[in-house]
Structure 1
Amino acid sequence: MKTKYIKITLFAFTLFTASCKDYLSVDHFFSDRQSEERIFNSRDYTEQWLANCYNQLLDYNLEIGHKNFTVSNYADDMYYNEGGNGADYRRFKFGEYDYNWYKQSWSQSYAGIRQASVMINAMAGSSTFTAQQIAQYKAEARFIRAYLYWLLLRKYGPVPIMPENGVDYDQSYGSLSYPRNTYDEVVDFISSEMVLAAKDLPMRQDNRNIARPTRGAALATRAKALLYLASPLANGNADMADFMDDKGRSLIPQQYSEEKWARAAAAAKDVIDLNIYRLYTAERKIKGTETYPVTIIPPYHPVHSDKSFPEGWANIDPFESYRALFNGDLYAAENPEMIFTRGENQTDQEHGVISLTRHQMPQMAGGWNCHGLTLKQCDAYDMADGKPFNREEILAKYGSKMFVQSNELEQFKPLKANVWKEFANREPRFYASVAFSGALWTMSSATNDPGNNTNKQVFYYRGESEGRVNGDRWLPTGIGMMKYVNPKDNATNGGTIYPKVEITIRYADILLMYAESLNELSASFDIPSWDGATKHIVSRDVNAISKAIGPVRIRAGVPDYEMPVYMDQKRLRNSIKHERQLELLGENQRYYDLRRWKDAPVKEAEQIYGYNTLITKQNAALFYSPVRVPLLQTAFSKKMYFWPIDWDELRENKRMTQAPGWQSFD
């Protein structure tokens, strides 16, 4: 057997050109030649090789961060304004996915897939490590490889699965071209690989290794892939009959299968049955400060108000329970809800969560004031009693007294004086997520003259410091975003922006996935557990569905759905979609949810509305008249379901076919 030689980066890693040819190139990536035997019999080299695998989960494969890297985090809920008064946003919303930096995730993912594949195959012959150590290394590499395929599937649809044992590098590239696999084949590969990884991954990681995958992370990714396979986009979708490989084989299943929903439900149940995750809750506070206010108790509810969590909210602070998940107050190791994270990797001002936060923050706190929410998202949050928001009812109720007065502050907590009463009495996730006009920014880490640089209300009227201006640093809808912002965050006057952990997968998502999958069943199915040790009997059991959804809503301080909602499949389906829109805001879910549900042609094509940012403080009431926002308009066409394959790849890989609606290389 001849020795294969490869190169390994010991200190730096560079991005590659956008072609799958890079996957097949031996000499393109690494700076020092080493034989496989030498690399994988050295602990240092092995760890460095694995670190390069992990690197491919960063940059353009981050889930949450700056729009240059995670542009799919924006759908009908969030927007960004930088880039020539929203010019970049308009390109994105009109489906120019082949524009400039949008296409880097393809080459980065296949580079990581190659890295991981080499490691999986080469580790078997190592004499340096114990069998258990080899199994763990291979499991981590297998997880990374399957996770990269998951990211590719979600964005590009069916993609080529590269040979398990590598390729013959002596052949010409033309003879090594690979076609797309079907959607089912890619999901089945991800599912089987995550099962193999799960067997050798630990149940938990310690603080030092918190960004490494666990068994739960592998099973949760498997569940997400199976949920997408069951969803309308990939389950009996005649609209995608023209998405074929080079031999004319349909890549999207044309026959609907209810059993796919059962498999997705069972996969989510596998995660639940690990019994190591739970929804995070913060204790109720009797005393508080502006930065961490006293718990605002939800309106009295006969079922939930007098019971402790998860049956009720008597012992928790719903606002803080949700806010602390994302703003850096909760360390990764303290978060029982977090299933997978990249830790604090690339959460800086260029890439990840801190970058997102900085773009949301007002300029007075050293932010850039250019990421916000649509009026659709703002209005989606329910009232404190769980009833839908209704603008007409609120206007009729308060009439000419729509602004909070100083003598009404106790009645309308947490609002401050001169705030529009549409923002009053909303559910706790609203206050943790929405930077409405007049919201309080505490910015309390400022140490230089804190009396003048903390606890400021920010209004978005024209003429105000954060209002409409020439340039990018203003919010075209007049609505900002508070999620991910720590109440202490301040980049000026001696303050700091606190580190934040990217939560890639969390337990609330798994619970909602489980409920969604069960809701789609009309029959009962016996599905083996992930390890074959038992069977899941899954059906549309409303008690099981309520047990999954109820705690998510109760943690948020809103009542569980009443039984008529659970009994009505269509009504519950819409309720679950609504719940995901609120609970998972800004977590790179909405964009893909709308596509897998096939709701994007309507939801993503609707006119974007906001408040009238041309209005000054002197005519403040007119500011809150909903208007169409010309700078943020959008459209949707069939091609926007999947991202295009770059022409360089199409030119090199003769068997690659383009996604429907996109131009093929000729």
Structure 2
Amino acid sequence: MTALSSCESFLDINSYINDQVTIDSVFTSKTRVLQYINGAASFLPDESKIFSIGSYSPSGLAADEAIVPWADWNHRGSYLMVDEVTVNDVKGYDPWENYYKGIRKANILIKRIPECKELTDLERRDYMGRAYFLRAYFYYSLMRLYGPVPIEPDEPYASDTEASTASVERASYDDCVEYVCNNFEKAAEYLPVSREKAYQYVPTQGAALAFEARQRLYWASPLFNGNTYYADWKRSDGTNFISQQEDKSRWGKVAALYKRIIDMNKYALNTVEKIATTDHVAGTLPLPSTVSKEPFPNGAGDIDPYKSYKSIFDGSIEPEHNKELIYFCPRSDADDWTFYPNPLGGINGFSVTQDMVDSYRMADGRQYSEATDEEKSWRAVGQGKTFSEDYVLAPERAHRDDNREPRYYASIGFNYCVWPCTSYTGTEAKKNFVATYYKDGNSQPTGTIKVDYNRLGYTCKKYVNQEDIMHWQGSRKPKTYPIMRYAEVLLGYVEAMNEMTEPYTDPVNKITVSRDVQQMMFYFNQIRYRAGLPGITTAEASDYETMKKLIKQEWKVEFAFEDHRYYDLRRWKDAPDAMNKPVTGLDVSAKMAEREQFYTVRVWNTEKTMKRVFKNKMYFYPISKTILQRNGKLVQNPGWTD
């Protein structure tokens, strides 16, 4: 684990200091202080694990993006989706105690780092910044899952045991937000703007500000801003845990914070230059007539939209060369086996819903719902296509999987999708594998256990490189997982501006923001152009409701399978509508001879994880009964009982 990355080992955690015995000696040594910081950070989970074994959160499998057929310890998020989580059995998701252990250690660091005489002034500032970031990040992680939480005294407890048995009441959500944001601000004050490659996973000033902005974005959203559903949920002094009066000025604070990050001029959307077509290279696809041919960021004329998006996730570029990454870590490959077809070493059970698939637009920017019957057809295109150097479309693909926006091909695996597997060195027919998901297709399991197959006809390819294969006679390229990237800053800024009703000026940083239509178009269209899509118009940007729909769809598609959708549905209060809809997908019960039937969209409700539900209690995760019994002042989240 790096000093403050939850995903990689940087120092030997086995030399983590036993603070019960040698706490005084820690702060006499620069080396031991850094070890102690890493020890505190070790309580953070690997955030790149969101779908499979050891998932750090229920978010990967408790949103409407996809399902897996298993509700088991490997895929624990499925339990929440089907309402099998209880306070007595939180199904493996119980980070509460570890996060508070991390908070206690951050409190110790903040109090005692100034004692270390071996630190230079620059090192002392950096280490203090990391400690403040840690404290804020632990609380932010708790609040993202549980809502309002107890704020521990800044004076650290003498031991973890004392901390775990202390009786502290939950603060209001607003008070939690202010505390967390103040800590992120303090971290930003101390942390450097940039890091050397060896320390690239350690947070920077931009990371602190970006997570502060995300925290305030949640705070301004309907779940936490005037939500009368929680009118009866109160603290012991009678004050509400969730504010009951909507405060539109919160959006101004969010917008100003995002603008502050933009004005750093440090970050930019990742783009790859347009690829010329030659006799030997299949270049960038010609842009539809609806898309601006101006150079990026005013159009997509000089970029390759597919590679610009795909290379963020597939290991094509080193993270130090990607200006879009703000906070990131090496990506675990634990999730990958749920994507890959069986012959390539996977179990292809990760099944993307039809609703998610239909959210991707046509190449010219039309909604899929606006496509013609021919464009939605099950019939084979009959002609192959290659673009962006190496992305191959098989002739057998259906028209419905043709002529879609570049992010579709970067993210979605579909029937007759090609898996190149170029690193494969064996003799079997595994290179350029064309996956089929029919009942008798080539991606079905070959053993006696017949549960490992795709349930809906689509899967995820977002984190799959062209050379990747899970077979032992091949390899997978190392990937970087973007915990925070610049596209979120731009989209968050546009969302905040769209919600504003009057101008706002940040009194400290003197940044003034308003619902500026031209600014909304410029920053929103950067995301659109990078995706090879037409920009929005002045008329669209001027209409609040139109923009609100466009923004929500952009969050859904741009950040698909990136740990956003679960929380976005909740903060918007859209989860009941999204999650209570039936699961739909293609008819994978059809055989290859029944192609038309296979491409018929149907409701799937035959297995446990297809019977998803959303109840109001699911806005927040339950606090386990064990934790409640330790803290006499702690109250459970609404709706959760024994």
Give me the TM-score of the superposition, normalised by structure 2: 0.91
Q: For 1:609, what is the secondary structure of its paired residue? A: strand
Post-superposition shift, 1:527? 1.7
Distance in 1 between residues matched to 2:300 and 2:375, nearest whole Å: 28
Change (3 A) 1:288 1:556: farther
1:81 corresponding residue in structure 2: 69
Post-superposition shift, 1:66? 2.8
Post-superposition shift, 1:472? 3.5
Does 2:335 match 1:356?
Answer: yes
1:560 corresponding residue in structure 2: 535
Post-superposition shift, 1:37? 2.9
Please identify, of 588-597 and 127-136, the stretch whose mean Cα deviation from structure 2 is larger: 127-136
1:439 corresponding residue in structure 2: 417
Change (3 A) 1:597 1:634: same
Change (3 A) 1:544 1:144: same
Post-superposition shift, 1:367? 1.9
Does 2:465 match 1:465?
Answer: no
Q: Deviations over 1:207-231 (max 9, x none)?
A: 1001100000000000000111100
C-alpha root-mean-square deviation of aligned residues, in Å? Answer: 2.7
Q: Is the 8 A contact 1:178 1:655 kept in 2?
A: yes
Q: Give the residue type in structure 1 aligned to 2:42.
A: N
Distance in 2 between residues matched to 1:637 and 1:397, nearest whole Å: 37
1:19 corresponding residue in structure 2: none
Does 2:60 match 1:70?
Answer: no
Q: For 1:394, what is the secondary structure of its paired residue? A: coil
Distance in 2 between residues matched to 1:409 and 1:495, nearest whole Å: 25
Distance in 1 between residues matched to 2:288 and 2:121, nearest whole Å: 57
1:18 corresponding residue in structure 2: none
Post-superposition shift, 1:514? 0.3
Distance in 1 between residues matched to 2:493 and 2:273, nearest whole Å: 27
Change (3 A) 1:174 1:377: closer
Among 228, 239, 258, which residue is 1:238 paired with? 228
Please identify, of 231-240 and 326-335, the stretch whose mean Cα deviation from structure 2 is larger: 326-335
Q: Deviations over 1:97-135 (max 9, x none)?
A: 444544322122112111211111111222221232112
1:453 corresponding residue in structure 2: 430
Q: For 1:285, what is the secondary structure of its paired residue? A: coil
Matches within 5 A, 1:57-206: 57-59=44-46, 64=50, 66=52, 68-74=55-61, 75-83=63-71, 90-98=78-86, 99-167=89-157, 176-206=166-196
Distance in 2 between residues matched to 1:174 and 1:464, nearest whole Å: 53
Q: Give the residue type in structure 2 aligned to 1:66.
A: S
Does 2:618 match 1:644?
Answer: no
Q: Give the residue type in structure 2 aligned to 1:402.
A: R
Distance in 2 between residues matched to 1:595 and 1:554, nearest whole Å: 28
Q: Give the residue type in structure 2 aligned to 1:190.
A: V
Does 2:295 match 1:313?
Answer: no
Change (3 A) 1:409 1:129: closer
Q: Is the 8 A contact 1:416 1:440 kept in 2?
A: yes
Matches within 5 A, 1:330-409: 330-341=317-328, 343-344=329-330, 347=331, 352=332, 354-390=333-369, 393-396=371-374, 402-406=379-383, 409=385
Post-superposition shift, 1:244? 2.4
2:283 corresponding residue in structure 1: 294
Post-superposition shift, 1:652? 1.0
2:398 corresponding residue in structure 1: 420
Q: Is the 8 A contact 1:379 1:389 kept in 2?
A: yes
Q: Give the residue type in structure 2 aligned to 1:385.
A: D
Q: Give the residue type in structure 1 aligned to 2:632.
A: K
Distance in 1 between residues matched to 2:93 and 2:427, nearest whole Å: 46
Q: For 2:93, what is the secondary structure of its paired residue? A: helix
Q: Is the 8 A contact 2:168 2:631 kept in 1?
A: yes
Change (3 A) 1:257 1:620: same
Distance in 2 between residues matched to 1:12 and 1:288, nearest whole Å: 52
Distance in 2 between residues matched to 1:468 and 1:297, nearest whole Å: 39
Post-superposition shift, 1:369? 1.2
Distance in 2 between residues matched to 1:63 and 1:257, nearest whole Å: 35
Change (3 A) 1:424 1:251: same
Post-superposition shift, 1:174? 9.9
Post-superposition shift, 1:466? 1.1
Change (3 A) 1:356 1:31: same
Does 2:310 match 1:323?
Answer: yes
Does 2:631 match 1:653?
Answer: yes
Change (3 A) 1:97 1:336: farther
2:558 corresponding residue in structure 1: 583
Q: Is the 8 A contact 1:238 1:254 kept in 2?
A: yes
Distance in 2 between residues matched to 1:143 and 1:174, nearest whole Å: 22
Post-superposition shift, 1:594? 0.4
1:265 corresponding residue in structure 2: 255
1:625 corresponding residue in structure 2: 600
Post-superposition shift, 1:499? 1.1
Q: Deviations over 1:316-370 (max 9, x none)?
A: 10001111100111211111000001x22xx4xxxx3x11223211222222212
Please identify, of 37-46 and 435-444, the stretch whose mean Cα deviation from structure 2 is larger: 37-46
Does 2:581 match 1:595?
Answer: no
Distance in 2 between residues matched to 1:53 and 1:558, nearest whole Å: 44
1:615 corresponding residue in structure 2: 590
Distance in 2 between residues matched to 1:355 and 1:239, nearest whole Å: 38
Q: Give the residue type in structure 2 aligned to 1:606.
A: K
Distance in 1 between residues matched to 2:486 and 2:565, nearest whole Å: 17
Structure 1 unmatched ranges of 5 or more: 1-9, 15-28
Post-superposition shift, 1:605? 1.1
Post-superposition shift, 1:415? 2.9
Change (3 A) 1:34 1:550: same
Q: For 1:387, what is the secondary structure of its paired residue? A: coil
1:513 corresponding residue in structure 2: 492
Among 570, 586, 595, which residue is 2:545 paired with? 570
Change (3 A) 1:330 1:170: closer
Among 196, 214, 218, which residue is 2:204 paired with? 214
Q: Give the residue type in structure 2 aligned to 1:524.
A: P
How many residues align? The count is 621
2:31 corresponding residue in structure 1: 44
Change (3 A) 1:466 1:191: same
Q: Is the 8 A contact 1:246 1:657 kept in 2?
A: no
Q: For 1:35, what is the secondary structure of its paired residue? A: helix
Q: Is the 8 A contact 2:376 2:400 kept in 1?
A: no
Q: Is the 8 A contact 1:468 1:614 kept in 2?
A: no
Structure 2 unmatched ranges of 5 or more: 1-10
Does 2:245 match 1:255?
Answer: yes
Post-superposition shift, 1:249? 2.5
Please identify, of 136-145 and 239-248, the stretch whose mean Cα deviation from structure 2 is larger: 239-248
Distance in 2 between residues matched to 1:244 and 1:110, nearest whole Å: 23
Post-superposition shift, 1:88? 5.2
Distance in 2 between residues matched to 1:537 and 1:183, nearest whole Å: 26
Distance in 2 between residues matched to 1:164 and 1:552, nearest whole Å: 41
Q: For 2:266, what is the secondary structure of its paired residue? A: coil
**% same residue:** 30
Q: For 1:386, what is the secondary structure of its paired residue? A: coil
Distance in 2 between residues matched to 1:294 and 1:170, nearest whole Å: 58
Q: Is the 8 A contact 2:81 2:613 kept in 1?
A: yes
Distance in 2 between residues matched to 1:171 and 1:143, nearest whole Å: 24
Q: Deviations over 1:387-410 (max 9, x none)?
A: 00027x5335687x821214x758
Q: Is the 8 A contact 2:96 2:142 kept in 1?
A: yes
Distance in 2 between residues matched to 1:89 and 1:166, nearest whole Å: 33
Change (3 A) 1:176 1:69: closer
Q: Give the residue type in structure 2 aligned to 1:296.
A: L
Q: Is the 8 A contact 2:361 2:367 kept in 1?
A: yes
